Chains A and B, each alone.
Chain A
Amino acid sequence: MSSDHSNVSVHEHPPPSFGVPNLKLAFWLFLASDCMLFGSLIATYLSYRGKDQLFGNGPYPLDLFSVEVTTISTFDLLMSSVTMVLAVAAIQRGNMFQTRLWLGLTALLGAIFVGFQGYEFTHFYLEGLKLQGNLFGSTFYVLTGFHGTHVTLGVVWLLLVLATTFTKHKGMVTHLNVEVAGLYWHFVDIVWIVIFTLVYLMEYTV
């Protein structure tokens, strides 16, 4: 490395001109892109909302939703954001034990959320909500299914980050890697808040 020379022009990698590390910047851009993805899915859901009633083609949301169960799973996902924050804080302090603990707990809470969703899907399916049955079924399963896929991939990712903390691979277990995984995790969490509000809670108000 040539870092012992103070001359900027000799440096192999000049510092990021934008002040944000490449990985983090690219990840923010990915999240912007993912916003458009979920935006389109949510817009599709909303534009078809209530249309089944016109066609007399049930079951309808209120026949199926159990706001208590979904509130618990939402709470679970919110808590996973808290543990994610603690994981990032722990690796910043260089505390490996706590990093592993909070990463593992975040993945566990994420997995529990996916479990809730699996339960909900099975329950709704048995109650007669089919993917092909009506517009509510199509839009609901596709929207929440995509979110569930995001959470599942997030759990896999967190477990991979956790696994790297046990390898001798230098440079893998960086603060940045945990932080970027955290960005993704918080994003997925925020998207769920929007979905929970627009898909579930709105049924009880309007």
Chain B
Amino acid sequence: MASPAIVLPEHCSEEKLSGIWSWITTVDHKRIGVMYGVSALSFFVLGGVEALAIRTQLAMPNQSIVGAHFYNSLVTMHATTMIFLMVMPLSAAFFNYMVPLMIGARDVAFPRLNAFSFWTFLFGGLFINSSFFFGEAPAAGWFGYANLTSIQYSPGPGVDFWALGLQTLGVASLAAGFNFIATILNMRAPGMSLMRMPVFVWMTLVVQFLVILSFPMITVALILLSFDRMFGTNFYVPEAGGDPLLWQHLFWLFGHPEVYILILPAMGIVSEVLPVFARKPLFGAPFVIFSGILIGFVGFGVWSHHMFTTGLGPVADTAFSLATMLIAIPTGVKIFNWLATIWGGSIRFTTAMLFALGFISMFTIGGLSGVMHASPPIDLHHQDSYFVVAHFHYVLYGGAILGLFSGIYYWFPKITGKLMDESWGKVHFWSSIIGLNVTFFPMHFLGMQGMPRRVYTYEGGFGWDLWNLCATVGAFTLAISALIFFINLLKSLANGEQAGNDPWDGATLEWTLTSPPPVHNFDLMPKVTSERPFWDQKYGSTHGHDDTTEVAEEEQLPAEIHIHMPPASYWPMVVSFGVITFFGGWMIHPAVAVCGALTVIVGTVAWTFEPE
């Protein structure tokens, strides 16, 4: 068939799309995705350095390489950075880059709102971290328990940086949530019914629902905290009748769904990677999808398993314990579906595949210890011990981060047009697996032997010395593995092998495009007739349909197609600047906050009047 000529608007020309200004004003979901990815990996380095400082301090008993208070800052910022500035934005990088490609859309529903989300996230992340240079980094833990965060116990500016920074990040996440749900529900290509969507897109959808319903609760928790600190209210002050447990309820009402916000994207990635490298469709895909939805729903009803030790009473403990154990069922369903997917497949052990397999095994270990402290009597012993640290690092490093690495190796060729080096990739994989087990497995023993978490040092002779040293050695192994990854990333970017459009023999729509994809993604809207559109196009349908994905071949096409693309805009960044000025301004003077609010209003009005 004769392809029609594609005519793009003038603002999409080559020279308009180069230079720093074009990145600052971009509204292209692919560029925004790349910026999310680069920022997240930079924060990954920062959080990693904090982890190394922690492990160096704990390598041997009675050390004082860092002081007690700075140690508290290090654990607080390590967790805050890794959760909000690394795993979430790296997931967002994939949402941004891949979701529109996978559903056959030209962009997200609100391209400028998308740019706003990115800049707000970046400013928020920089704001929290700037606290290191302004007196005091947050030191009350990433969970910020009341009334440790009160003026009385945390007189420095750290907690304010933390609370106001998280508010800013919340704004970014909420805006992205509305945007991506609208995109996924509304912008699907013809024929892409909900059940034909790739599982990664489904998991994105579930995650965004979790975001928009759970973030408002931490918003309120943080508003009350900031009012307590800045205006002298008594929400969390026990002497005046306030209840510190209110914080814990609000925080974990957000905090547990947040756990799934962190892990479901990785589950989505693994559900894409395994079928491709096993050359089989995902086993029981609807079950994987419904399990993800169920995990999302039940995830809102389990928050008090973080609060068994606060004495909620046997009825509440039983209910929350049961609900927590229930979540293991849909999670187990997913794991068995992944295993059934690779069973009998013709497996290619690429780096992406290895990381996906690593995800399954490591996440299962973390999941099993999770089921253990779902039981209140056991949890009473685990609480605040290193056993819990071992658990959530298996889930977050062994789960979320390995899954995200799998996604990087899988989609890097699509994003850059180059393949990542496989030999270095495998060295990265094995050093990660060894490093993470050497670091985190001994923490199970440490917890069992009663070592409390969040202590900056410990006495020798409790049987903790060896395992602490072991964990520190493991942490440096992980650092080396990350270094190998970054070297591989840069080397492959500079002179990696050309990837071609479809290096892995993929099944989903993004592989039909060039690598990297053109600005407008699709010349013609694809028509989708199955859940593996590109596979069926290449190999014929296995579902008994005779027609496969095709691009309107028999139909009469015009000689040229004019494609509408949204023009670049600097207003999203201006409004983001207003948001951070509003929140940060409270620390300087209310007048600064008012200026921020005015910037938001003026920017939003200017934005609305801009041509789309």
Question: Which residues of chain B are within 8 angstroms of A142 by Cβ–Cβ distance?
Answer: 223-224, 227, 233
Does residue B20 face the partner (Cβ distance < 8 Å to A)?
A: no
B185 touches A135 (CB 8 A): no
Interface segment, one of A47-55, A71-79, A88-96:
A47-55
B178 touches A30 (CB 8 A): yes
For residues 6 through 27 of chain A, which have their beta carbon under 8 Å from a beta carbon of chain B?
Answer: 7-14, 16-18, 20, 22, 25-26
Q: Which of A5, A14, A20, A132 has the most CB of B within 10 A?
A: A14
Given that A17-B185, A17-B188, A142-B233 are known contacts, is A134 also in contact with B240, CB under 8 Å in the complex?
yes
B231 touches A131 (CB 8 A): yes
**Which of B212, B233, B253 is within 8 Å of A132, CB to CB?**
B233
Given that A9-B552, A132-B233 are known contacts, is A36 also in contact with B179, CB under 8 Å in the complex?
no
A10 touches B216 (CB 8 A): no
Does residue B246 face the partner (Cβ distance < 8 Å to A)?
A: yes
Question: Which residues of chain B are within 8 angstroms of A25 by Cβ–Cβ distance?
Answer: 109, 181-182, 185-186
Given that A131-B233, A169-B609 are known contacts, is A10 also in contact with B186, CB under 8 Å in the complex?
no
The contact string, 1 if C-beta is below 8 Å from chain A, for chain B 158-180, is 00000000000000001001110
A14 touches B190 (CB 8 A): yes
B555 touches A135 (CB 8 A): no
Q: Name B174's closest neighbour in chain A (CB-CB).
A: A33
Given that A26-B110, A55-B241, A138-B234 are known contacts, is A18 also in contact with B186, CB under 8 Å in the complex?
yes
Question: Which residues of chain B are within 8 angstroms of A138 by Cβ–Cβ distance?
Answer: 227, 233-235
Question: Which residues of chain A are within 8 angstroms of B213 by Cβ–Cβ distance?
Answer: 32-33, 36
Compute how far the CA of A30 lies from the CA of B213 in the bound complex, rounded to whole angstroms. 9
Q: Name B231's closest neighbour in chain A (CB-CB).
A: A131
Which secondary structure dominates where chain A touches chain B? helix
Does residue B557 face the partner (Cβ distance < 8 Å to A)?
A: yes
Does residue A40 face the partner (Cβ distance < 8 Å to B)?
A: yes
Q: Name B186's closest neighbour in chain A (CB-CB).
A: A16
**Which of A14, A37, A131, A160 is within 8 Å of B605, CB to CB?**
A160
Question: Which residues of chain B are within 8 angstroms of A64 by Cβ–Cβ distance?
Answer: none
Chain B's nearest CB lies how many Å from the CB of A164? 8
**Which of B182, B240, B605 is within 8 Å of A29, CB to CB?**
B182
Compute how far the CA of A18 lies from the CA of B609 in the bound complex, rounded to whole angstroms. 27
Does residue A205 face the partner (Cβ distance < 8 Å to B)?
A: no
Does residue B434 face the partner (Cβ distance < 8 Å to A)?
A: no
Chain A's nearest CB lies how many Å from the CB of B547? 13
B190 touches A10 (CB 8 A): no
Given that A8-B525, A132-B231 are known contacts, is A2 also in contact with B220, CB under 8 Å in the complex?
no
Does residue A203 face the partner (Cβ distance < 8 Å to B)?
A: no
B609 touches A172 (CB 8 A): yes
A55 touches B181 (CB 8 A): no
A20 touches B186 (CB 8 A): yes
Question: Which residues of chain B are within 8 angstroms of A32 by Cβ–Cβ distance?
Answer: 212-213
Does residue A86 face the partner (Cβ distance < 8 Å to B)?
A: no
Given that A52-B241, A135-B240 are known contacts, is A44 also in contact with B558, CB under 8 Å in the complex?
no
A7 touches B241 (CB 8 A): no
Question: Which residues of chain A are within 8 angstroms of B557 by Cβ–Cβ distance?
Answer: 7, 10
Question: Which residues of chain A are within 8 angstroms of B421 by Cβ–Cβ distance?
Answer: none
Question: Which residues of chain B are within 8 angstroms of A14 by Cβ–Cβ distance?
Answer: 187, 189-190, 525
Does residue B561 face the partner (Cβ distance < 8 Å to A)?
A: yes
Chain A's nearest CB lies how many Å from the CB of B268? 20
Does residue A57 face the partner (Cβ distance < 8 Å to B)?
A: yes
Question: Which residues of chain A are within 8 angstroms of B241 by Cβ–Cβ distance?
Answer: 48, 51-52, 54-55, 57, 134-135
Q: Name A138's closest neighbour in chain B (CB-CB).
A: B233
For residues 197 through 244 of chain B, which have their beta carbon under 8 Å from a beta carbon of chain A?
Answer: 212-217, 219-221, 223-224, 227, 231-235, 240-243
Compute how far the CA of A37 lies from the CA of B177 in the bound complex, rounded to whole angstroms. 15
Compute how far the CA of A159 lies from the CA of B185 in the bound complex, rounded to whole angstroms. 31
Compute how far the CA of A41 lies from the CA of B218 in the bound complex, rounded to whole angstroms. 11
Does residue A34 face the partner (Cβ distance < 8 Å to B)?
A: yes
Does residue A156 face the partner (Cβ distance < 8 Å to B)?
A: yes
Q: Name B527's closest neighbour in chain A (CB-CB).
A: A9
Q: Could you list 9 further interchain pairs (A-B, Cβ under 8 angstroms) beyond the known A2-B561, A8-B527, A10-B525?
A: A9-B524, A17-B185, A17-B187, A33-B216, A36-B217, A135-B241, A135-B242, A142-B223, A160-B608
B residues lining the A interface (CB < 8 Å): 106, 109-110, 174, 177-179, 181-182, 185-190, 192, 212-217, 219-221, 223-224, 227, 231-235, 240-243, 246, 250, 253, 524-527, 551-552, 555-558, 561-564, 601, 605, 608-609
Residue contacts A-B, CB under 8 angstroms, 6 given: A9-B552, A17-B192, A37-B219, A40-B253, A52-B241, A131-B231
A residues lining the B interface (CB < 8 Å): 1-2, 5, 7-14, 16-18, 20, 22, 25-26, 29-30, 32-34, 36-37, 39-41, 44, 47-48, 51-52, 54-55, 57, 131-132, 134-135, 138-139, 142, 156, 160, 169, 172
